[in-house]
A and B are shown apart, each in its own frame.
Chain A
Amino acid sequence: MAEKVAGPEIEKLVQLLAKLPGLGPRSARRAVLHLIRKREELLAPLADAMRIAEERIVVCSVCGNIDTSDPCTICRDARRDASILVVVETVADLWALERAGLLNARYHVLGGVLSPLDGVGPDDLAIASLVARVRAEETREVVLAVNATVDGQTTAHYVADVLSPSGVKVTRLAHGVPVGGELDYLDEGTLAAALERRTVF
């Protein structure tokens, strides 16, 4: 059995970093060595940033976003169009849409999708709070920005059903050929969806 080459503190750091997505034990060890080499410029500021984040991170009680204030920065932003509410599965999806900067709207994070296999039902998702928001706020349109998977679209249809009594306009993202996508490499399902929803050129 190989002997440990570093003290328990460093080994613990390696073990913890190895649990991050995309990192295994070997790459975690490399990252730790890099941090140690850049102790002043990287290790200390990273440790401080992580400690502060750990202390201050909260889940927004309005939309479910993650931020250091509650309500979050997006919900507090008065310049956003309050009439459009974009419903996403996870915070990662919200951040992806924000990165694109296409919509100046507000968001609602469901916290997942309905999944019989994983035992996720409507009560496990933030659907009741979505209905309450639509009723209380001046929402005119709800955009269902969920994944084009069977579970994602089952959730979208369920949410649309639940929202139908409120009379709000419910829309969803288009399905089809992605930018940069080559037809030769697309699956039949995406091609079928793109053909069914073809538009006039």
Chain B
Amino acid sequence: MDWRDDGLVMGARRHGETSVILELMTRGHGRHLGLVRGGRSRRLRPVLQPGNLVAAQWRARLEDHLGALTVEPLAARAAHLLDRAVALNGVASLCALLRLLPERDPHEDLFEMADAIAARLGDIRDFEIAATMMARFELALLGALGFGLDLNACALTGAQDDLAYVSPKSGRAVSRAAGAPWRDRLLPYPDFLQHESIAAARGDLIAAFRLTGYFLTRDVLNPRGVTLPAARDLYIDALARAA
């Protein structure tokens, strides 16, 4: 068995003296692990840093084996991340959230989003664009995990315009007018999540992360007995401080 694919490096764990078990988010093969022989060498260590994009080849005798990966760098981004805590926490949060996906379950859209975020995180000028993409990624992740929110129409009136809230109970959108009496108990639904053309204000970004964080915790993390990654909190803190 073998395949070739692009992969976003999520992390590498030591295996023996010279090898690592590499975790990749690949375009067509989902979250995939494999043994990289010589992964702790001077040549490969910089390549196997989280956030880098690699061309990977996976080989195994049987499909359900761990298999061996060989990698070539396509985009070395880690060096651009090292200077800023927000970028490092962003990539750590991104990788931790990708880890919620089942192994070898392809999600090309999530790969594309994660790769685009990792590419933007290293550039201080793209700070807000990366955060916008990250919020959209978390929403898409909920959908991929089977807990997508129903955000197309108001749960009370069926209206498709002026959706301003999300019900924390049903995960459905609520229009501004219909939700007004319960607005303290509803989660804000920022405009930029509804329309790609709208730029996100910092306050809206924090609200979006509150929205996705709520449903990720309730539907995905609590049943597994885990919490949101600490890096995500640090990333959002940095966003809030910059607001």
Contact = CB atoms under 8 A, between A and B. Distances in A.
- A-B complex is real: yes
A189 interface: yes
Interface string B8-48: 00111100010000010000000000000000000101110
B76 A121 contact: no
Contact of B76 (A116, A117, A149, A192): A192
Given A150-B49, A187-B46, A192 B230 contact: no
Contacts of B13: 117-118
B73 A187 contact: yes
A149 B49 contact: yes
B76 A188 contact: yes
Interface residues on chain A, size class: 20 to 34
Interface in B63-98: 73, 76-82, 84-85, 88-89, 91-92, 95-96
Contacts of A76: none
B208 interface: no
Interface of B: 10-13, 17, 23, 43, 45-47, 49-51, 73, 76-82, 84-85, 88-89, 91-92, 95-96, 229-231, 234
Interface of A: 21-22, 115-118, 121-122, 148-150, 153-154, 157-158, 160-161, 175, 187-190, 192-193
A86 B23 CA distance: 32
Contact of A187 (B17, B51, B76): B76
A155 to B, nearest CB: 9
Contacts of A192: 76, 79-80
B229 to A, nearest CB: 6
A190 B51 CA distance: 15
Given A116-B231, A150-B51, A193 B82 contact: yes
22 contacts: A116-B11, A116-B92, A116-B229, A116-B230, A116-B231, A117-B12, A117-B95, A121-B230, A149-B45, A150-B78, A150-B88, A150-B91, A153-B88, A154-B92, A157-B88, A158-B234, A175-B82, A187-B76, A190-B46, A192-B76, A192-B79, A193-B79
Given A116-B92, A150-B49, A187-B73, 13 more contacts: A118-B13, A122-B230, A150-B78, A154-B85, A154-B231, A157-B84, A175-B82, A187-B43, A188-B79, A189-B46, A192-B80, A193-B79, A193-B82
A123 to B, nearest CB: 11
Contacts of A187: 43, 46-47, 73, 76
| Max chain B C-beta neighbours (<10 A), residue from A118, A188, A192, A193 | A188
A30 to B, nearest CB: 18
Given A116-B92, A149-B49, A157 B85 contact: yes
A122 B89 CA distance: 14
A161 B78 contact: no
Please name the 5 residue pairs, one residue from A and one from B, whose CB atoms are nearest each other, closest first. A189-B79, A157-B85, A117-B11, A188-B76, A187-B46
